[in-house]
Structure 1
Amino acid sequence: MTIALAMLLLPVLVKAQFSISGSVSEKSNQVLPGASMRLKEKSTGATANAEGKYQLTNLKAGNYTLVVSFVGYQTIEKKIELSADQIVNFSLSPSAFLADEVIVRATRANEKSATTYRNLNREEIQQNNFGQDLPFILNNTPGVVVTSDAGAGVGYTGIRIRGSDASRINVTINGIPYNDSESQGIFWVNMPDFASSIENVQIQRGVGTSTNGAGAFGGSLNIQTLAPSEKAYAELNNTFGSFNTLKNTVKVGTGLIDNKWSFDGRLSRVKSDGYIDRAASTLKSYFLSGAYHGKNELLRLNVFSGTEKTYQAWSGIPESRLKGDIQGMKDYAANEGLKPEELENLLNSGNRTYNPFTYKDQTDNYTQNHYQAIYAKQFNEQFSFNGALHYTDGKGYFEEFKLKDKYKKYKQPGVIVDGELKDRTDLIRRRWLDNNFYGLTYAFNYQPQSNLNFTLGGAYNEYRGKHFGQVIWSKFPIGLSNTDHYYDGKGNKNDFNTYFKVNYSPIDQLSLFADLQYRTVSYDISGTDKNLEPINFSNNYNFFNPKVGATYFLNQQSNIYTSFSVANKEPNRDDFTNLKKGLPSPKTERLNNVEAGYRFNDNTFNVGVNVYGMFYKDQLIFTGEINEYADAYRQNVDKSYRIGVELDGAYVISSKFAINANAAFSRNKIKNYVDYIANTEEDESTSLIVNTYSNPDISFSPAAVVSGELVYKPFKGFAAALQSKYISKQYMDNTQSENKMLKAYWVNNARLGYDFQIKGIKNINLGLLVNNILNKKYESNGYTYSYAYMGDITKQNFYFTQAGTNFLLSLNLKF
């Protein structure tokens, strides 16, 4: 936190010495606005304006290599000996092939977009890739909070942006939706080591630009997979660390064959015992890609898959166990009906590593296969197209042991054993999900002149999901075979959206945009749920999501922007199937999002300041409660809001020192919140206790998220970084009770990296990541629930603890 706060106080201006300026055009002398200029091996760059002009200022005397690039054109490198101001003009030639960046261009923001975003390139991703899931690689970006069920970043992990959970974050891979259609969540455990196949990521906060798939209510992650290397390569990446964490990755690529063809592949394995008891993960994945690169067209086929076997660690640790309160644990066991064996496990486990599950195969098992066919065509200088066909199939189950489970839960009669009626039996069950997701995406881009650009895009997708359960073993006969389904449910969802975007610059300094999206969704749920309750919901939604904004360039280094966006979103499956009796069916949500900010980008210093307001109607709010399958309960609230300010910057102090830092400060409130507590009477009838709260904080929405990184490069090839992250307190429900809270925490990590070469090996990288170097004891997530018996209320809190000091050591070889 100290590093981040220090960064925010650094001076904005650095005294200029020399400059490099000029223009960028193509051979026909048509200017290329948006061309990228950067100094090689330095964090200094600029972008050509609407007239194709650029300027790099505040440069010391010396030798530089200036790299100029633009989508669809050959990159140029030019060495410059700088001892005075210089004017250097560039003329780019069309590339021999269409660049992969066109695949994601339609759904991405750029320097002219009046939205808030951060780009991460391949180098930034790889230097933090030690085998942990992608959320932990994105952890040092503004407003991000991450968590891990197993406590060490491998297995089930989660991410929140601006307090919004994963179901509010739109994720696309090459413009293709990734969010699960029914839960709208993101399951990174199904794509282990996917970071090793990523070229870049754009993180948009707020509503952002129109994209495909689930609506963005907190942010978007726009992922582009690896672009081809010009030369053939092979890589071996290996990591070993605490909790027997192991990552092995093999990557190969042909480079460009005949300047037209390329093939790339990756095979990965990630294993970890986890910090929590028995929270082991065995994860496997592969990524295959082949492409044809024409002068004006690109055809790419991607096939990637992930298989996971993860021991369940999603129940958290009861507050009494966390505090070591023996009597509290006994009271908890009595209130929750724990069996003697379960109480013994509770009493004899570690305060911070307790896992209620002890059955050896209490695991989650799932395989997901992705197929993508992507085509892009540049018809002429003004008109281009890109589109994709995609198919994803997934199938898996979680297995669990149930001790003395009731026959009536499976709608089966009891059995007589040795003359005694048995109404309970030990059993093992599996709960299955078998689903398919397929569709297409498209985008047409037309730029009739340099200051005007149109994009027409969208997608149509279908989802077909089957939910069913099996009892594969029981101590006493239960009347079901291993293959019988004791419940069957279906979820069918069709999702169509189309958007039209216009960017117009009436003068050089001003860029205006309008972005209009129409989305229609039909979602049908039928059959029986996991509790054998009948379900029958048929829903059709039509949404109009307009966005407008403006960016004004004060000069070549800085601009100001503002935008207004509207987003609408449908409820997810759990909002229907977990609906508490007596509460109305969930309604759609609406968000009005206002953003305004300032960006400054110089050779040694860049900073962005953004203020935002997110105003909701009928927002679906987490109540803090989950059921036994870790499904979180949500309910609509009439009016709520998030307002805040975000700062994001970097400062190159010298050739050896640099600082990166960001901070997000926010106020997140519900105007009036109604809390419902189930109250059971002696006759087992149930009513609701209703409490009303005025202006409480929204659950899991910290008021402050601050991150900083100090980088030190004492000599060529070596870099050390100290990373620091502060998260203020969070409430686990919406009553703003100090007794239902995650405490604030401040965590520090250290990363070391050394690159060198030996004969026969292109590059060797040794890396070390030490997490939580100060051994902070903290909880990054949790849940709470309350219930009453004859008006006497019982409260239960549960926490997800994160590992103390731990390390990951990597050895990466490039050939």
Structure 2
Amino acid sequence: MKHPTALRCLSSAVLASLWLVPASILAATAASDGGIDIGEVSSSTNAAGTAAARAKALRESPENQVQITHQQIRDLVQPGGSIVTALSAAPGVQVKGYGSGNGASRYQIRINGIQVGFALAPGNPEKNGLSVLFDGVPMNNPLAQYDGWESSETPISSIFSNIHVTQGPGNPDHRWYDSMGGTINLIPVEPTAKAGASLDLGGGSFATYSASTMLQTGSINGWRSELGGGYTRSAGFRTGPYHAPNQAEAFFAKTIKDFHGGHFSAGFFFSHTQEFRPLYIPASPIPGVTTGGYGQPGELLSQGTTGYYYTVPTSQYFKNDTAHMYLVYARLMVHLAQRLSVDNTLYFRSGYRHHYRVNDYFPHTVNTEDFTGTTRTIGDRLAFHWNLPMNSVRFGGYYQHSRYESLYYGYNPAVLASSASKPLFAADYYDYWDGATAFLQDDFHPISALHITPGLQLINYHVQFVNNSEAAIPPGSTPVTYKAGNNDNSYTKLAPSLGINYRILPGLHAFAIWAKNFQTAPAAAYGNYQQATVEVPKSPTDINSYIGGLKWHMGAWQAQLSGFHQHLGNAVIATFLPSDLISKLDRVSAIYNGVNLLLQYGKGLGFFAGTRDTIQHAYYPSYLPAGGSPVIDARMPGTPTLILGFDAGYRWYAANTRFAVRLSDQYASSVTTFNNNTNLPDPTRLPGSAYNIVNLGLSADTLAFDSMIPGLKRVGVSLMIDNLLNRKYNSQGYITSGGEYGPNSQGAILVIPGAPRAVYASFSASF
């Protein structure tokens, strides 16, 4: 299906010309320079070349930003674990999983209540409310029906060196289309000037094991490159006859060429995941819901009767997700003049997900789903930096085109001999999304202690929906298809921002930022899984964000205290009902209020401690369900009032070895639920949703073997015990309408438990 719009053609031509101009400068410069010496030059996305410069930039920024270091990643991520678990080092962030705990599992991430990633139930207006970047390149699908980005897309944590987290929309120079509640930049390890290699092996509870490696070529004719990748697998912690291993692998390559006046880099990333997702567990017994199936003989199925982690066998239910992603990008930074530089990034991303579910526990009219989602994205971002006296001006923009196809077959082999080749339900949709933006931003500092940062972004979003369902019907079958008509919709908006940072005392800064941003609604709002042509939203979802507070850094101490008030408007919650192959569209507004505290003490060696605490209140001023009456001031499901984190430990050096011990504790208060019967937020508390988890970590990094093995630089071992006290808690849950466990379960609470105690060990070596 072609999409020959004037905007797309014009933007493509501009995109090509913007890339060719800096590329020609690179070719001419490289030819004249020959093999110029290179140093440890960071890419432009890292913002600063040294840790001290990065810390200074964070203190002087009007934004609420946190840099999660490589050491924190090593401390927080278990062997084979997901890189997103390290986000718990940032205030206001909550990470919740449901699977095996390794990188192949999917996690829900919230920043100040706004989320991205896996969500069990509807009711949260921002399932795609955080932009997630790989080395500064966006990975979100802007029209995803459910979650625009999944943590399993980046399953190997050892690929990454640090994480940059921005709360709220942020300044326009690094804001993207889904930067509503925040932006998370996952920054991979950079190629180094010296050759080297590293190896990481890990294993532990639930038959979890992992292996990864990174190879640095060093400088070769002025180019420095790296190759890395890894594999992780786990059988999962769910008990009973259910068998559902998860596994994932990823590969990463990057090369950098530094030359007089700039640098060029190119990267490639691939990940592949295969995951079995278990069925949810009733929190309490339900009449007729047994281990043998709905209405069959057997023990009543629930956390209280069959065990907290019990899952029905795969013969009764299983869901298998297979996904892969390719990302290719190139970046060029050139100093055009003494005070003027240009940075251009061109990227292409291809994503694929196949979702296959069989439910024989309670045979629905449609008990088998076969769904394939495919995305293709190309984009380019061009930004200029003009450094003037008392002003640092940034201007530029980006263009991105995405095509998203959803192909769905629903069938029941016991009814009319239906199968994948003769489905009962069929849907095939093409969604095209174009985003074109231009921005102007100034960092005005009339005195060294004061930074005033106004910004303005012009946004145009263009969404086109094409219903291809009739053409997708397999020969010989007559399935039900829904007749939503094609539509074409555009939005043009101005997104301003204004920030201020004032140095009160050396190391003490006051900061504040107000920012707006806009994003398009999910694909269901434009026609996906709709019975008739829809009335598309007249305006995109918008956010007004106010964040401000104090930043303090002095010696071994670091602190950040901030308050936030964010108002989300024109949001659309799309609730997809697989058994009926339709979506319901609820229209809501939401408010997120709260306070975050970050306080840390520590140096390289000796005692260290820190706390990360959040008090928040998220609610709906208005929640209008499809075909119902509005509900006022309902609490937002799944959002705790309190998130409290504390860690402490000690590092010491002896016998050419650095030892460390670390103890951490995280508490979250209970949350409310969403009711699929009323299609509304419900005040009922989710059982087991309040939790207090203690983790213990021990590690040793030694140089003692360097003289014994040629080329060896460092050997490290670690032991991590997660959930040391073996607390039982539930990660997510909702009130069911009876779709999974039959009509007797209507009104019951279904839950996903969090992981029990787990022990992991790792071995690493650097050459």
TM-score tier after normalising by the smaller chain length = 0.7 to 0.9
Instruction: Note closer, same or farther for the CA distance 1:473–1:479 as it changes in structure 2 (3 Å cut).
Output: closer
Partner SS, residue 738 of structure 1: strand
Amino acid at match of 2:637: S
Aligned match of 1:197:
159
Amino acid at match of 1:455: R
How far does residue 368 in structure 1 lie from its aligned partner after superposition? 1.2
Aligned match of 1:330:
288
Q: Does 1:148 align with 2:148?
A: no
Q: Which has the higher strand share?
A: 1
Partner SS, residue 231 of structure 2: strand
Aligned match of 2:597:
647
How far does residue 285 in structure 1 lie from its aligned partner after superposition? 1.1
Amino acid at match of 1:644: G
Aligned match of 2:671:
730
Give distance in 1, aligned partners of 2:759 and 2:552: 36
- Residue number among 709, 717, 725 corresponding to 1:774 in the alignment: 725
How far does residue 350 in structure 1 lie from its aligned partner after superposition? 3.6
CA contact (8 A) 1:98 1:295 kept: no
Give distance in 2, aligned partners of 1:528 and 1:344: 44
How far does residue 600 in structure 1 lie from its aligned partner after superposition? 1.1
CA contact (8 A) 1:213 1:495 kept: no
- Residue number among 399, 402, 426 corresponding to 1:460 in the alignment: 399
Partner SS, residue 139 of structure 1: helix
Q: Does 1:670 align with 2:620?
A: yes
Q: Does 1:601 align with 2:553?
A: yes
Amino acid at match of 2:355: F
Aligned match of 1:237:
200
Give distance in 2, aligned partners of 1:782 and 1:482: 34
Amino acid at match of 2:391: L
Instruction: Note closer, same or farther for the CA distance 1:746–1:294 as it changes in structure 2 (3 Å cut).
Output: same
Partner SS, residue 123 of structure 1: helix
Give distance in 1, aligned partners of 2:546 and 2:299: 51
Q: Does 1:179 align with 2:140?
A: yes
CA contact (8 A) 1:121 1:200 kept: yes
Q: Deviations over 1:61-114 (max 9, x none)?
A: xxxxxxxxxxxxxxxxxxxxxxxxxxxxxxxxx9845823323549x9733221
Instruction: Note closer, same or farther for the CA distance 1:787–1:150 as it changes in structure 2 (3 Å cut).
Output: closer
CA contact (8 A) 2:443 2:452 kept: yes
Amino acid at match of 1:778: Y
The aligned runs of 1:161-310 (5 Å cut-off) are: 161-166=111-116, 167-183=128-144, 185-193=148-156, 195-210=157-172, 211-258=174-221, 260-276=222-238, 277-310=242-275
Q: Deviations over 1:729-780 (max 9, x none)?
A: 1112364523556631111111111001203221011011111001110012
Give distance in 2, aligned partners of 1:692 and 1:793: 26
Amino acid at match of 2:45: I
Give distance in 2, aligned partners of 1:793 and 1:345: 11
CA contact (8 A) 2:568 2:590 kept: yes
Aligned residues: 676
CA contact (8 A) 1:145 1:160 kept: yes
Aligned match of 2:85:
136
- Residue number among 479, 483, 494 corresponding to 2:434 in the alignment: 494
- Residue number among 620, 627, 635 corresponding to 2:586 in the alignment: 635
Partner SS, residue 253 of structure 1: strand
CA contact (8 A) 2:427 2:529 kept: no
Moved more, 396-405 or 774-783: 396-405
Give distance in 2, aligned partners of 1:271 and 1:713: 31
How far does residue 545 in structure 1 lie from its aligned partner after superposition? 1.1
Q: Deviations over 1:452-478 (max 9, x none)?
A: 111113211111122224589957874
- Residue number among 52, 55, 62 corresponding to 1:114 in the alignment: 62
Q: Deviations over 1:474-531 (max 9, x none)?
A: 5787477759994322111111122211001111211100121122111122226797
Aligned match of 1:47:
none
Instruction: Note closer, same or farther for the CA distance 1:380–1:667 as it changes in structure 2 (3 Å cut).
Output: same
Give distance in 2, aligned partners of 1:651 and 1:659: 5
Q: Deviations over 1:358-411 (max 9, x none)?
A: 3697421122111111111123331111112111122341223354999986xx
Partner SS, residue 152 of structure 1: coil
CA contact (8 A) 1:773 1:805 kept: yes
Q: Does 1:374 align with 2:331?
A: yes
Partner SS, residue 353 of structure 1: coil
Give distance in 1, aligned partners of 2:580 and 2:89: 30
Aligned match of 1:743:
689
Amino acid at match of 1:721: R
How far does residue 200 in structure 1 lie from its aligned partner after superposition? 2.4
Instruction: Note closer, same or farther for the CA distance 1:813–1:437 as it changes in structure 2 (3 Å cut).
Output: same
Instruction: Note closer, same or farther for the CA distance 1:691–1:607 as it changes in structure 2 (3 Å cut).
Output: same
Give distance in 2, aligned partners of 1:141 and 1:117: 9
How far does residue 656 in structure 1 lie from its aligned partner after superposition? 2.0
Q: Provide the alpha-carbon RMSD of the alignment.
A: 3.6
Instruction: Note closer, same or farther for the CA distance 1:808–1:654 as it changes in structure 2 (3 Å cut).
Output: closer
Instruction: Note closer, same or farther for the CA distance 1:719–1:392 as it changes in structure 2 (3 Å cut).
Output: same
Q: Deviations over 1:247-298 (max 9, x none)?
A: 100211112234x211101121110011124332111111111221213221
- Residue number among 447, 450, 468 corresponding to 1:507 in the alignment: 447
Give distance in 2, aligned partners of 1:286 and 1:386: 26
The aligned runs of 1:567-578 (5 Å cut-off) are: 567-576=517-526, 577=528
CA contact (8 A) 2:562 2:596 kept: yes
CA contact (8 A) 2:287 2:744 kept: no
CA contact (8 A) 2:290 2:297 kept: no
The aligned runs of 1:465-614 (5 Å cut-off) are: 465-469=404-408, 474=413, 478=417, 482=421, 486-527=426-467, 532-536=481-485, 537-576=487-526, 577=528, 588-614=540-566
Give distance in 1, aligned partners of 2:590 and 2:413: 48
- Residue number among 72, 77, 81 corresponding to 1:124 in the alignment: 72
Instruction: Note closer, same or farther for the CA distance 1:122–1:379 as it changes in structure 2 (3 Å cut).
Output: farther
Aligned match of 2:30:
none
How far does residue 800 in structure 1 lie from its aligned partner after superposition? 1.1
Instruction: Note closer, same or farther for the CA distance 1:512–1:739 as it changes in structure 2 (3 Å cut).
Output: closer
Give distance in 2, aligned partners of 1:647 and 1:454: 31
The aligned runs of 1:385-400 (5 Å cut-off) are: 385-400=342-357
CA contact (8 A) 1:353 1:801 kept: no
Amino acid at match of 2:431: G
Give distance in 1, aligned partners of 2:187 and 2:581: 31
Amino acid at match of 2:72: E
Identity of aligned residues (%): 17
How far does residue 627 in structure 1 lie from its aligned partner after superposition? 5.4
Give distance in 2, aligned partners of 1:126 and 1:653: 16
Unmatched segments (≥5 aa) in structure 2: 1-35, 49-53, 117-127, 470-478, 675-679
Give distance in 2, aligned partners of 1:465 and 1:385: 31
How far does residue 346 in structure 1 lie from its aligned partner after superposition? 7.5
Partner SS, residue 44 of structure 2: helix
Q: Deviations over 1:596-619 (max 9, x none)?
A: 211110002121111111123334
Higher alpha-carbon Rg: 1
Q: Does 1:446 align with 2:386?
A: yes
Q: Does 1:699 align with 2:637?
A: yes
Q: Does 1:99 align with 2:41?
A: yes
Instruction: Note closer, same or farther for the CA distance 1:743–1:156 as it changes in structure 2 (3 Å cut).
Output: closer
How far does residue 585 in structure 1 lie from its aligned partner after superposition? 5.3
Q: Does 1:721 align with 2:662?
A: yes
Give distance in 2, aligned partners of 1:562 and 1:429: 48
Give distance in 1, aligned partners of 2:484 and 2:514: 38
How far does residue 691 in structure 1 lie from its aligned partner after superposition? 6.1
